[in-house]
Structure 1
Amino acid sequence: MSAADPFGTAALRAAVLSAWTTSPTRFREDANAEEDLYLGGYRDRLLVELAQNAADAADGTGTLRLSLVDGELRAANTGRPLDADGVAALASLRASAKSSVQGVGQFGVGFAAVLAVTDSPSVLSLNGGVTFSAEQTRAAIADHPDLAARAADRGGRVPVLRMVWPADAVVPDGFATEVRLPLRGDVNGRKLLANFAAQAADLLLALPRLDRIEIGDDAWWRVDNDSRVEIHGPDGVVSWLVHRVSGTLADDLVEHLGVEARERRQWSVCWAAKVDQDGAPLPLGDDVLHAPTPTDERLSLPARLVATLPIEPTRRRLHAGAAAAAVLAEAAGAYPGLVELTPAEHRTALVPLVGFPLSEVDERLRELLVTALRQSPWLPAAEGDDLAPARAQVLDAEADGLAELLAEIVPNLAAGWLSAQRHAAALAALDVPRLGLADVVDTITGRARPPEWWHRLYTALAPVVETDGTARLELGALPVPLADGRTLPGPAGVVLVEDAELLELLAHAEVGVLHVVHAEAAHPVLERLGAHRGGPVDLLDAGGLQDAVERSLDDVESGVDITGLVSVVLRLVRDAGVRTGELPWLGALALKDSVGDWRRADELALPGSPLLDVLDEDAPVGVLSAEVAAEWPDHVLAAVGVLDAFALVADEAPTGPDHGLADEAEWWDSRQEPPARVLAVRDLDLVTDDAWPRALALLAADPDTWRALLEPDGYTGWWIARHAVIGGAAPSDWRLPEADDLAGLYDVVPDIGVDPRVLAAIGVRTGLRVDNADDAEDLLIRLGDPDRGLHPGAVLRTHAALAEAVADEVFDPTDVRLPETTRTLAGTVAADCVVLDAPWLLTVLPEDQVVAAGPDFALAEPLAELLDLPLATEESAGEIISAADPVPWSDLGAVAAACELLDVDIPLGTLLVHEKLTIRTPTGTHNPTWWVLDDVVHCEDTPEALARALAWTTNRWPDRHTFTALIEEPAHYLT
């Protein structure tokens, strides 16, 4: 029994056969077209076409079931059953029964994809069924020789989908239509189903009218939830974030398309981003344009585009033209909508990154998407609404809270977390400028903000500063609010102070040179940027405070209010424990005096200070205001230079006489070498003459000035020795009581109640010393004073000391002004004298005309040079007039014995022995016991004469008395 023919297939077959017989080329065209379809455009598209047909047939949404039954691939779908128009379209190859309402698919010819697996497809529906068969078609043309010949020429291949026969229709329960495809022997059904399974999830996303696909025992289904789509399957759930828009193309955009395409001007666009459970986009990997099913147009976008785009008949390439361009433009315009649906922290993952495009469509879409994304407000802002990237800027440094804080000042600033590296490539693709830390500093400089705002800023910057050396350089000019209300550009040099009371003082004192951070802005990050923690000592060392102090007097005289500076300096000095003289520049601080005038601190004395009693009434030292003196402790005021005792100057590394000391340059020049340090008492030149005893007592009572007094070769002792007055005379005009060797030359210093060490340090003489020309001159004057009763030993010692100083070149004799007279051996003073340079001359010279330097006759010549007197040997040569016998020294037994006992070599040569030695000089005839003339020794034969001659000849003059005793009686040596 033949099947019913509800779709009029007989007429369709007759029409086809008539067309083939009346136009033999039509047969070849249909055969070629069919082969082109299933071997070309529709290869590997079997599931796509079956799914499209199922979607087209769906009422609302539909289901597609694929299974293998008895060697057949069966594809059942729900929805509208097959009708006559559908059958006609199936047998047409060139027409489609899909209306614009049905939407999906533009070519009914897509059914040709089944020929890749079968030669006899059937479509069974609730309204009836049809079947196609290559075998039946060959049978139908067997009676037509021309067609049979043409088929034979093609190896027996005939068009399969042109001739259609009715078929008995039995469809599975719950389904409207089932396509049955008996598989050819070379087709692996299980492999085919596996390939279908790999495509199922993507098809459910691309075909919204299809919500379930069953393949064998597995199923995939879609769950729509607003903008989120979940594709459930055997391997779990794949989530997609989707954004759909639709519209209608203008007539002029489709006029170049085919008739059916022109009738379907509606378009739809779906952007889909695969996301994880948190909504973060996942990479798509290799992807293609879906129009709406997959094409061969490769894409490298972070989201999938599914759009009703015009495609070429092969269904693999986009049909370029105005319509395609318009839909792509609409798609690009819709893309920011998908981005806005994405959680804010993941939006940049949907920005196409810079790279090589995979196709022309990919390149065009990239350009369109970037343009759309730049203009659309979707980029999270640091505050307020989202920003369009075209007007946004992002911080280059990632720091929590920084962007949100800066948003108050910096316009159009993106959210701070967008500074992270993972967003950098996306923002660069959108040309969003990055705002470096140096740019931030430039922007916020000059902006008024409360101190606590700056503290929050430093907190936000802290992690960056800690880990990034470049960031620290860029933040070098970061503004810092100061305690006095100013804002300083840059942390370098500012001080972090923790003392709350001191900070309060600084906040109300206008001391512009002190760069102290405001208490509410202080933050450890400032230390990393060049600030330093400090207390009073650090503030005193801070740059600028010294300058402010040194110009304070000029400032106050110019009308500047310096009361804040005074309070701050005195407070810092107190808290730092500054000692008197430790910071000399503090002496320039202007303070009020007792009459209300402003003066330097070091020109003021404390009220009631004993120093005021020893200074000259014209001394430029005022009295400190009683109010200031009552407010601050004496030691604080003394530390800034206010005088209570004599002030000290201390310099451990002096470079020159530049300490403001009286006659300092003269002291400096008086030294053989520059001083290694200066420790000196200043203002000594202000002491009145009659107050020196009290002044010295003050100096001795203070440990610091005591050290200065006793400083070896120091300034203080040097100056006082030259200028102080004790008992109406200079200190050097007195001697200490124990200086006995100066008795007669100097009087004992009056008792003024001062330690002898102090007296010695200021020049009171402690013994016979000749240190310079002044000492020599003073001694000679005193020696030549006839009113001084001098012991002969003191005279000899003094002359010897003077001669030794000349011999040692302690001073230049020409620098000494000589008195008119000098002291002789007789204790008298005389103007015309000679200097004794040979002991035998005393026998012929009167003692009141002889000056001697003692028994060391080697000192006679330097003494004569100093006194500008002749030597005695130059004035008293003498002539020997008595007879003598030459005797060798070695023949004199007593002499030889004495030399042996004293371990002295016996002189060589001979001496002339006189019974009585007689000489003639200009003053007359004399009888000395011994004499030396022209290096020849003359002597009488007496122990005393021989002893002196022997002592002189052997250079043992000090032993002359010993020689005498030994010559007289050798036993003296034993006793």
Structure 2
Amino acid sequence: MTVTDPFGTADLRRVVLAAWAASPTRFREDANAEDLLAAGGYAGRALVELAANGVDAAVADGVPARLRIRLVDDELRLANTGAPLTAAGVGALATLRASAKRDATGSIGFFGVGFTSVVDWTSAPRVVSVPGGIRFDEAATRQAVQDAGVAALSDELARRNGHVPVLRLPWPTGPDEPPPPAGYATEVRLPLHPSARAEVRALLEDRETFADLFWALPALVEIDLPDGVIRRRTDTGGIVTLERSGSAGGQEARYRVVSRSGELPAHLMAGRPVEQRGRTRFALSWVLPLDTDPAPDGPARPFTIGAPVPTDEPTTLPARLVGTLPVDDTRRRLAPGPLADWLLEAAADGYLDLFDDTDPGERWRLLPAAGFPAGPVDASLRAAIGARAEATAFLRSATGDPVTPGQASHLPGLDDEGAVVIGQAIPGLLGPIPPAAAAALRPLGLRTLDWSQVGPALAGLDRTPGFWRQVYRAAADAHPAPRADDLADVPVPLVGGRRAVGARGCLLPGVAGSGGEIGAELARRIGEAVPELRVVHPDAVHPLLTRLGAAPAGASEVLADPALAGRVGALREEFEDDDVDVDEVAALGRIVLDLLAAGGDPDGAAAPMLADLLLTDSGDDPWPASELLVPDAALADLLADDVERATVGTSWLRAYGRDLLVRAGVRDGVPVVAVADPVPDPIAGRLPDLDEWFEQHPFAADEPFLALADLDLIDDSRWATALQQIARDPRARECLRPTAHGPSYTGWWLRRHALIGGRPPGHWRLPRAADLDGLYDPLPVDLDATVARWIGVCADLPAAAAEPADLLDRLTDPDRTVPAARVAELTAVLVAALDGADLRLPSTVRTITGAVVDADTAWVLDRPWWAQTEDAGRLVPGGADPSGVSRVLDLPVVSADGPGTVRVQGPAPAEADGRWRRAAAAAGVDPDSVLLTVATTVWVAVGDRPERPVPWWCVDGRFYADGSAPALGRVAAWSAGRWSRRHLAVAAAALDHPALAEAGLD
């Protein structure tokens, strides 16, 4: 089949080969130029360059620019619509820097070198068009050079190792070359180098690769790919949508595109290459992706500038710049100079057009991201855009006002609602913005505020209490939370229309405190009656105020507030000066009583204030509540006849009831008051001898306590009734409970001053205290035993021993009868209590018989066998420590009278040995280790007294016994050092089984 040559490629080859033959240097020059372009500035740009040629063909023919891309058997094929290939076009493809599109001012390509980019991927490209096709072939070119027969050319080829320029010699395609795909005018076919195949496949799978083509080639409307078709659709508002259909399903990507175009100033073209000086039209576009999730710290991926095909000029902007920008010889960087500077300034002007169609809250994302520029071009763009943005009111404040960045501020952590509220005090305050936004806006003048600046700014606002609650809510919900110190001067609206600076010291109504909550109406009355009391308006209450130092305005907290105490105290002073306003007394009294009714604690910090409280009596005259009585008050019958009695007014009783008035200090029974150090004068005046009690109990002042007041007003003859009333009243009774430091103040005072039967409480014993029988008289009135013990009535012997001097006087009083069986225990307890005490001993002592004798005639029984010879009426029980009794009571021991003289008579009874061994076993002593003489009779003579028989005796460690069980049992117990076992030893010696059984219960 005949090969046709519709584009005259034979002539092109002949001319080029002739030129190379005439000048092998020209051959070398062409080869080096192609190498430089293919391996340098145009490496990896084949796809975009081929697409640009295809789009230029469609523009030249006035048809929509469509591309078709396929990979067939490792051959990349790119087809385009538009004007078919011409001889001039073929000549341009085979020539460097002599474009056929010199006069096509609207074309993308005009340098004449773009097709060189295919050499990076292939060594045998083909271009097939409707009129026919051409091919380039590295091997064919090498053969043609060799066939030229020029020695110098052959030498140069050898020096280049056979490397030739691929694109200088075109050939027609063969007759079997398929035509372009239907609907397309031209197709470029590139058999790929093995090294390029992976790169091309990856490029075809990258969605952004083809999106970039649409921005570089504005006339491109469609790209037909193996797995689907991408089409460009332009909607209203400058929104461009790239639709992708195919096997992966329908997908869309939207972009906002703003463009500017016009004529370049003539002076800018003076320094440009000749063939470019006629291209005086410029076009600039910014392409902003709309469907990508915004990254918190800037654009999701960096862009490069398109001029209009992609360059390697990076930017840090979130939109891509595409336009007719001058490039250098590599076509990878912008050519610096006045033209580039002018176009970048024009691009900066157009960039702000993106703001118009972007939500004001998202416009910050269009600003250059914080950080360093990516290069000198990026730096120029960032500076130009920043300068324009700085002077443009593209931001919206939280209240909706347009502001420039220099007029704007932001408060980190604030939410939208809070920004609207606080923005009323801070013009230009923005809504919440992320840190990246603040970083981008800060170089343009954005101020970052902190919460310490909010309080002073808010001070100038006059708003309803509800507005301030919104302010507090905004601060409480901020993240990070503001420090309490930063909000120390935030305004706080108070009841009564006033306002405090800062929450510290304010009280919060409706917030549960230690007492019940107070309502809005009571809060209003408090604010009017006590302006110094800083009660927050109920509509402004928010939990944040607690963190800032406000206290819950529970009823107890308001009662304890110094401002209320100060107002009540001032009114009391006016009463003392006979110049008090009755209406004010009534208003303030109702407030205090309402607080008590709401659950306020009258015994805590409010106690001093209640001591000053004024109410009115039955004649509507002002009167201290603590001096008023409720009708039929139990206390009235206890008061001395000369004590004034005034009754509380009936209006108070109807409104608040008897119990609440008593809680407020009006008297019914004996009044209870709360005491804390320092004690206010009104309370101290009602607690007689309080200073003396504090001196005796210094640690008691460290803790508050309850006390009975006005005890000195009770008639001495009515104490029995008064104490019974106190015992029945749980609150009054509690005042008597002893403290950790000793008796309570009230118990201490009653011990000293209360009279029962004309005697102080310590004179009496509880009726059930049988161990004090004879020493103390039983309490003559029916009084609760616990209360009686708290006021000093003796409850038992240890309690009596707490007053050893009194116990000594009673035990040695001959007018008191004490059972003989109680003398030993009473003596032991008394001696223990007296030991170390500096007391004067009486001249009498009580002996074992219960009788009281002259101490000069008494002995302390220190050895039990002496009780057999001495008069019991002269013996004082020595107990377990006879020497201690002797020392404390200053009495001699009976054994000091001498050991006595012993005489035994007759043999030991036959049963004595058995009795002895049984007694020793019971006492726990070795029977053979005891020096013991047993006889029929043991005679003892003491001093000059005649001898007398005794059951047992001991002299110088030797025991003598008459062989009886009682005698041997006692010897065994004493010698064993276990005198308490004597009854067991006696029973064992006598084989007295019932007695042994009884002893087993010990």
Q: Structures share a fold, TM > 0.5?
A: yes
User: Aligned partners of 2:85, 2:607: CA distance in 1, in Å?
Assistant: 112
| 1:512/1:85 CA distance change after superposition, 3 Å | farther
Match of 1:64 in 2: 67
Root-mean-square deviation over aligned CA pairs: 6.6
CA displacement at 1:426 relative to structure 2: 5.3
Tell me, yes or no, if the aligned pair for 1:397 and 1:436 is still in contact at 8 Å: no
Tell me, yes or no, if the aligned pair for 1:228 and 1:240 is still in contact at 8 Å: yes
Tell me, yes or no, if the aligned pair for 2:299 and 2:317 is still in contact at 8 Å: no
Pairing 1:197-216 to 2, within 5 Å after superposition: 198=206, 199-214=209-224
Between stretches 61-70 and 20-29, larger displacement belongs to 20-29
CA displacement at 1:647 relative to structure 2: 3.0
Tell me, yes or no, if the aligned pair for 1:404 and 1:415 is still in contact at 8 Å: yes
CA displacement at 1:497 relative to structure 2: 2.3
Q: Deviations over 1:531-563 (max 9, x none)?
A: 666743454345654454444434786989565
User: Aligned partners of 1:794, 1:180: CA distance in 2, in Å?
Assistant: 141
Q: Deviations over 1:228-276 (max 9, x none)?
A: 3215265563614232222343334443322343332333333334443
User: Aligned partners of 1:519, 1:292: CA distance in 2, in Å?
Assistant: 67
Match of 1:268 in 2: 283
| 1:23/1:366 CA distance change after superposition, 3 Å | same
CA displacement at 1:193 relative to structure 2: 7.3
Tell me, yes or no, if the aligned pair for 1:151 and 1:157 is still in contact at 8 Å: no
Match of 1:105 in 2: 109
CA displacement at 1:188 relative to structure 2: 7.1
Pairing 1:68-467 to 2, within 5 Å after superposition: 75-80=78-83, 91=95, 93-94=97-98, 97-99=101-103, 101-116=105-120, 117-118=122-123, 124=129, 172=180, 177-178=185-186, 180=188, 195=203, 198=206, 199-214=209-224, 219-225=229-235, 226-232=238-244, 237=251, 239-247=253-261, 248-276=263-291, 285=301, 287-338=303-354, 341=357, 350-355=366-371, 357-379=373-395, 381-384=397-400, 387-397=403-413, 399=415, 401-416=417-432, 418-419=433-434, 432-441=446-455, 443-444=457-458, 447-460=461-474
User: Aligned partners of 1:621, 1:178: CA distance in 2, in Å?
Assistant: 124
Q: Tell me, what secondary structure is at the counterpart of 2:256?
A: strand
1:908 aligns with 2:943: yes
User: Aligned partners of 2:108, 2:180: CA distance in 1, in Å?
Assistant: 24
| 1:101/1:94 CA distance change after superposition, 3 Å | closer
Match of 2:42 in 1: 42
1:497 to 510, 514, 528: 510
Tell me, yes or no, if the aligned pair for 2:84 and 2:186 is still in contact at 8 Å: no
Q: Deviations over 1:827-862 (max 9, x none)?
A: xxxxxxxx99989xxxxxxxxxxxxxxx9999xxxx
Q: Counterpart of 1:222 in structure 2: which amino acid?
A: R
CA displacement at 1:120 relative to structure 2: 7.5
CA displacement at 1:699 relative to structure 2: 6.8
CA displacement at 1:102 relative to structure 2: 0.7
1:576 aligns with 2:592: no
Tell me, yes or no, if the aligned pair for 1:31 and 1:159 is still in contact at 8 Å: yes
| 1:669/1:93 CA distance change after superposition, 3 Å | closer
Tell me, yes or no, if the aligned pair for 1:79 and 1:175 is still in contact at 8 Å: no
Between stretches 346-355 and 556-565, larger displacement belongs to 556-565
Tell me, yes or no, if the aligned pair for 1:580 and 1:638 is still in contact at 8 Å: no
User: Aligned partners of 2:53, 2:472: CA distance in 1, in Å?
Assistant: 65
1:636 aligns with 2:660: yes
Match of 2:612 in 1: 588
Q: Counterpart of 2:340 in structure 1: which amino acid?
A: A
| 1:336/1:610 CA distance change after superposition, 3 Å | same
Match of 2:523 in 1: 506
Match of 1:846 in 2: none
Match of 1:952 in 2: none
Unaligned runs of 5+ in 2: 768-776, 795-799, 818-829, 842-852, 858-872, 877-899, 903-937, 947-1002
| 1:723/1:174 CA distance change after superposition, 3 Å | closer
User: Aligned partners of 2:791, 2:421: CA distance in 1, in Å?
Assistant: 71
CA displacement at 1:176 relative to structure 2: 7.4
User: Aligned partners of 1:175, 1:535: CA distance in 2, in Å?
Assistant: 88
CA displacement at 1:908 relative to structure 2: 0.9
Given the two structures, how large is their TM-score scaled by the length of structure 1?
0.63
CA displacement at 1:186 relative to structure 2: 7.9
Q: Larger Rg: 1 or 2?
A: 1
Q: Deviations over 1:332-383 (max 9, x none)?
A: 3433444654566765555543345544334444444555555544556434
Q: Counterpart of 2:253 in structure 1: which amino acid?
A: S
| 1:183/1:627 CA distance change after superposition, 3 Å | closer
User: Aligned partners of 1:617, 1:378: CA distance in 2, in Å?
Assistant: 90
User: Aligned partners of 2:79, 2:151: CA distance in 1, in Å?
Assistant: 39
Tell me, yes or no, if the aligned pair for 2:425 and 2:460 is still in contact at 8 Å: no
User: Aligned partners of 2:372, 2:791: CA distance in 1, in Å?
Assistant: 96
User: Aligned partners of 1:148, 1:764: CA distance in 2, in Å?
Assistant: 141
| 1:503/1:113 CA distance change after superposition, 3 Å | closer
User: Aligned partners of 1:838, 1:642: CA distance in 2, in Å?
Assistant: 62
| 1:512/1:137 CA distance change after superposition, 3 Å | same
Match of 1:940 in 2: none
CA displacement at 1:664 relative to structure 2: 0.8
| 1:890/1:157 CA distance change after superposition, 3 Å | closer
Tell me, yes or no, if the aligned pair for 2:736 and 2:746 is still in contact at 8 Å: yes
Q: Tell me, what secondary structure is at the counterpart of 1:264?
A: coil
CA displacement at 1:701 relative to structure 2: 4.5
CA displacement at 1:414 relative to structure 2: 2.5
Between stretches 559-568 and 147-156, larger displacement belongs to 147-156
Between stretches 255-264 and 360-369, larger displacement belongs to 360-369
2:590 to 553, 557, 567: 567
| 1:502/1:112 CA distance change after superposition, 3 Å | closer
Match of 2:994 in 1: none
CA displacement at 1:573 relative to structure 2: 1.9
Between stretches 46-55 and 212-221, larger displacement belongs to 212-221
Pairing 1:908-927 to 2, within 5 Å after superposition: 908-909=943-944
Q: Counterpart of 2:42 in structure 1: which amino acid?
A: Y
Q: Tell me, what secondary structure is at the counterpart of 1:633?
A: helix
Tell me, yes or no, if the aligned pair for 2:75 and 2:192 is still in contact at 8 Å: no
Tell me, yes or no, if the aligned pair for 1:137 and 1:163 is still in contact at 8 Å: no
Q: Counterpart of 1:634 in structure 2: which amino acid?
A: R
Unaligned runs of 5+ in 1: 740-747, 780-790, 796-803, 815-834, 840-854, 859-888, 892-902, 912-975
User: Aligned partners of 1:68, 1:890: CA distance in 2, in Å?
Assistant: 145
Tell me, yes or no, if the aligned pair for 2:243 and 2:253 is still in contact at 8 Å: yes
Q: Tell me, what secondary structure is at the counterpart of 2:429?
A: coil
| 1:428/1:756 CA distance change after superposition, 3 Å | closer
| 1:594/1:144 CA distance change after superposition, 3 Å | same
Tell me, yes or no, if the aligned pair for 2:505 and 2:534 is still in contact at 8 Å: no
1:664 aligns with 2:699: no
Number of paired residues?
A: 808
Q: Tell me, what secondary structure is at the counterpart of 1:108?
A: coil
User: Aligned partners of 1:20, 1:649: CA distance in 2, in Å?
Assistant: 125
